[in-house]
Copies of this chain bind each other. A is one copy, B any other.
Amino acid sequence: MIVDTPTQTVLYTLEQAIKAYRKLCQHNLDAVAGDITVDQALTLIVLDKHPSLNQQQIAELVFKDKASITRIIELLIQKGLLTRELHPTDRRKFALSITAQGKHILARLSDTILLNQQTALAGLEQAELQQFHQTLQKIIANCVAPPPCA
């Protein structure tokens, strides 16, 4: 299929979709939480859901670099949403905990996340989403381990 875009493929549209979605997310986030970014919110959510994971594992979970996570966490601490203490048994790691203020923001975030998802995926049937997800998985597999013919 030919799409009239610079690189003539759906991958260009993929880029466009992600950027549109990020913009929507940030917009909705601004409405409920003061001065936090989508990535900071995502990191906070993941830290809340998976308190036992270390930073490296968190990074993998959100497809970020461990360096990026370090800096995002730094900002979350600066904003008073997170505290960092020494890990009791492994002194390479840190024990991160979410502050009361962080919990407060988290509570307001869940609605926003739902809103983001429902807005972006409005009017899409289950079957269509299913198909979409499968295609994405194929693309990911192709990119991560390119088939020999390529």
The answer, among B18, B133, B144, for a CB contact under 8 Å with A18, is B18
Could you give, for residues 97-120 of chain A, a 1 whenever the CB lies within 8 Å of some chain B CB and a 0 otherwise? 000000000000000010111111
Q: Is A86 an interface residue (CB 8 A)?
A: no
Q: A1-B129, A17-B139 are in contact. List 8 more A-B contacts (CB 8 A).
A: A7-B42, A11-B116, A11-B120, A14-B136, A15-B63, A19-B63, A119-B147, A124-B135
**A-B contact list, 18 entries, CB within 8 Å:** A1-B129, A6-B46, A8-B117, A10-B121, A13-B133, A14-B17, A16-B63, A17-B136, A20-B144, A21-B139, A24-B144, A119-B146, A120-B139, A120-B143, A122-B142, A124-B138, A124-B139, A128-B131
> Is the CB–CB distance between A147 and B133 below 8 Å?
no
A3 with B133: CB separation less than 8 A: yes
Smallest Cβ distance from A31 to chain B, in angstroms?
A: 12
Determine whether A137 belongs to the interface, using a CB cutoff of 8 Å to chain B: yes
Of B11, B15, B42, B119, the contact of A6 (CB 8 Å cutoff): B42
Q: How far is the CB of A122 from chain B (nearest CB, A)?
A: 5
Query: For the complex, what is the distance from the CA of A146 to the CA of B19, rounded to whole Å?
Result: 15
Given A122-B147, A122-B149, A129-B1, the answer on whether A140 and B6 have CB atoms closer than 8 Å is no
- Quick check: is A126 within 8 A (CB to CB) of the other chain? yes
